[in-house]
Amino acid sequence: MPPHVVTNERLSRIMDTSDEWIRQRTGIGERRYSEPGQATSDLAVPAAADALAASGVVKDEIDYVIFATMNPDYYFPGSGAVFQRKAGLRPVPCLDIRQQCAGFIYALQLADALLRSGQARRVLAIGAEVHMGLMPWTCWDVLLDGSDRTISPEDYALNTRYRDRAVLFGDGAGAAVLGLEENDGRGILDVETHTDGSHAEKMWIPAGGSAYRPYFDPGMHARGDIVPIVEGREVYKVAVAIMPQAVTDILTRNGFTTEDLDLLVMHQANLRINEAVQKRLGLPDAKVFNNIEKYGNTTAATIPMAFHEAKLAGRVNPGDLVCFVGLGSGLNWGAVLYRC
């Protein structure tokens, strides 16, 4: 996790919002922001080092990297190559994928396929994000350094314009090492993924890319096109239908029901969405883990971060049946069934 804890109260100093307003709509109490100049790959390096240490695998044994992010360090190249250099890995293939909030689901599917096909023996899967470069703020001293200065009315109005999205996001990274082992039925049991491009503009950034001439222009910044657009109500309706269905489908296909499930780890986009999904599945609180209150939406990093914290909290035991599920812009969504 990056170093700066930014509370809802701190955000209220730069825009028209409050702790109550944010918690009621999202369940978020605080989030982490990176240092200026700290890129997505920088957060991935310590996350990967921790994953390697926990797995007992040394970095020279890694023969493939899958790097999921919505926010690469640069427009190109992808963050995978930059991470490989910073982490001191040998020149193994590094695949960058862009399924946003469903990124880690897709990363696990690709890692599973590489291992089962024999093309890799040790895969490092990463979900990492630094969102703050998307925000057109000029008051970083207030957010990161604790300054109590009063910002200008113009800046306050500009920040308030994006408050529905700005309060959602935090920075963070998570990683996992996957390998072929004699596992007695443990490990990844099944994966399913889906894409429906008819909803692409429900969550998107209308700036940058070959759809524009040039890719970027000053007007994009002035209009706020660089800030993500999230149609919250529409996303809520889709998510609370699609995510429970994905969980039910993958359980049924493998001969299980929700009664057999020990833990559900959902993408941490909005606590209200997760509560609705939990209700539809009829799961008790003991079978669901959320940590969005502390970190906000860290996009591709939410699932590995939440699973790690669930393990630290003693919520995961050997032999447990765990389901990961997530939905992201595109729309991309999917679920992974995993036996600990």
Would you write out the chain's pLDDT as a tens digit for each of its 340 residues? 999 999 999 999 999 999 999 999 999 999 999 999 999 999 999 999 999 999 999 999 999 999 999 999 999 999 999 999 999 999 999 999 999 999 999 999 999 999 999 999 999 999 999 998 898 889 999 999 999 999 999 999 999 999 999 999 999 999 999 998 877 789 999 999 999 999 999 999 999 999 999 999 999 988 889 999 999 889 999 999 999 999 999 999 999 999 999 999 999 999 999 999 999 999 999 999 999 999 999 999 999 999 999 999 999 999 999 999 999 999 999 999 999 9
Active site residue 291: no
221 falls within a domain: yes
Instruction: List the one residue out of 56, 310, 94 whose CA is nearest residue 181.
Output: 56
Tokens of 205: 């950034």
60 falls within a domain: no
Looking at 131, 199, 267, 308, which residue is catalytic? 267
331 falls within a domain: yes
223 falls within a domain: yes
Active site residue 94: no
77 falls within a domain: no
Active site residue 297: yes
204 falls within a domain: yes
Residue type, 40: T
275 falls within a domain: yes
- Go through 265-287 and write b for each residue having 16 or more CB atoms within 10 A of its CB, e for each that does not: bbbbbbbbbbebbbeebebeeeb
Looking at 291, 297, 308, 323, which residue is catalytic? 297
305 falls within a domain: yes
Looking at 94, 101, 139, 323, which residue is catalytic? 101
CA distances in angstroms from 103 to 2, 17, 23, listed in the order given: 20, 30, 26
Instruction: List the one residue out of 286, 269, 277, 272 whose CA is nearest residue 328.
Output: 269
Domain count within the chain: 1
CATH, residue 198: 3.40.47.10
Instruction: Print the domain residue range for 333.
Output: 187-339
